[in-house]
């Protein structure tokens, strides 16, 4: 058995190296003695963090009931809803950006209705939030559904037998028992929203968050101008999902 495990580990080295080398390279190429933000980086950080928090709240509020329903439903309707969740998850981000412009841009029916009130959903903070919301929501729903599905059915049945209403079983049994998985779902949604580039670039070029600012720095000033902001983007996105993953594995 040990020989088999050792063989599998050696065969895994190409994949492990492929995943690890870019991050190890980043450590080596970063000029640690001259770390400074480029022009506009501060505003990009504030935009991503501030609007990202709003988007995460919307993702949680809108995605939680959908994830719960998917974990409990049966039949053809569940399959249809699952497909509606999976299609945005599998669609390339640039394509989703074009779809959002087509659906909510100034020449769409919703866009024309909003213009009558003096509102718009392109190149403004609302569009930025919608782009993050749309891009990260399927990730949250998929992971949260798995968390709810992992709640033992006998516990829910015991709550029903003792007279607990569906609402009480949801809040007092399902939510606490699924909490680690829901935390992971929220963390993954946060990382996805913070790193969203394709949808934001098409649908909400302004205000510019960290991913779009990284692209501008790369285009205008070269590769050396992106490392500080890149490290900050990783710092703001990676720790929370990794911590949630480690805690969920331990629990």
The yes-or-no verdict on residue 250 having pLDDT over 80 is no
What's the token pair of residue 246?
Answer: 């480690």
The yes-or-no verdict on residue 246 having pLDDT over 70 is yes
DSSP letter assigned to residue 51? H
pLDDT (mean) for 111-116:
87
pLDDT number for residue 251: 63
SS3 31: coil
Beta carbons of 150 and 181 less than 8 angstroms apart: yes
Identify which of 189, 195, 186 has the alpha carbon closest to the alpha carbon of residue 235.
195
Model pTM score: 0.91
CA distance 52 to 1: 47
Which residues are CB-neighbours of 226 under 8 A, at least 6 positions away?
Answer: 214, 217, 218
pLDDT number for residue 2: 58
Averaged confidence pLDDT in the chain: 90
Residue 30 phi, psi dihedral angles, 5° rounding: -70, 130
Of 28-42, 90-104, 107-121, 150-164, which one has max mean pLDDT? 90-104
Per-residue pLDDT tens digits for 147-200? 999 998 888 888 888 888 878 888 888 999 999 899 999 999 999 999 999 999
pLDDT number for residue 134: 96
pLDDT number for residue 11: 87
Identify which of 109, 107, 113, 128 has the alpha carbon closest to the alpha carbon of residue 202.
128
């Amino acid at each position: 058995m040990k020989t088999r495990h050792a063989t599998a580990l050696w065969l895994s080295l190409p994949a492990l190296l492929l995943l690890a080398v870019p991050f190890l390279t980043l450590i080596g190429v970063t000029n640690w003695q001259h770390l400074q933000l480029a022009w506009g980086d501060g505003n990009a950080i504030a935009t991503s963090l501030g609007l990202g928090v709003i988007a995460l709240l919307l993702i949680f509020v809108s995605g939680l009931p959908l994830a719960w329903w998917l974990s409990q439903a049966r039949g053809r309707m569940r399959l249809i809803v699952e497909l509606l969740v999976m299609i945005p998850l599998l669609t390339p981000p640039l394509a989703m950006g074009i779809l959002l412009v087509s659906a909510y841009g100034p020449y769409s029916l919703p866009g024309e209705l909003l213009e009558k009130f003096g509102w718009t959903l392109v190149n403004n903070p609302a569009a930025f939030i919608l782009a993050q919301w749309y891009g990260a929501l399927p990730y949250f729903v998929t992971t949260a559904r798995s968390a709810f599905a992992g709640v033992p059915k006998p516990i829910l049945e015991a709550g029903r037998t003792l007279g607990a209403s569906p609402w009480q079983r949801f809040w007092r049994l399902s939510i606490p028992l699924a909490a680690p998985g829901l935390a992971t779902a929220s963390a993954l949604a946060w990382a996805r929203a913070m790193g969203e580039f394709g949808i934001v670039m098409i649908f909400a070029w302004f205000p510019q968050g960290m991913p779009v600012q990284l692209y501008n720095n790369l285009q205008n000033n070269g590769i050396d101008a992106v490392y500080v902001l890149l490290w900050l983007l990783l710092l703001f996105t990676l720790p929370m999902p990794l911590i949630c993953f480690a805690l969920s594995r331990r629990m």
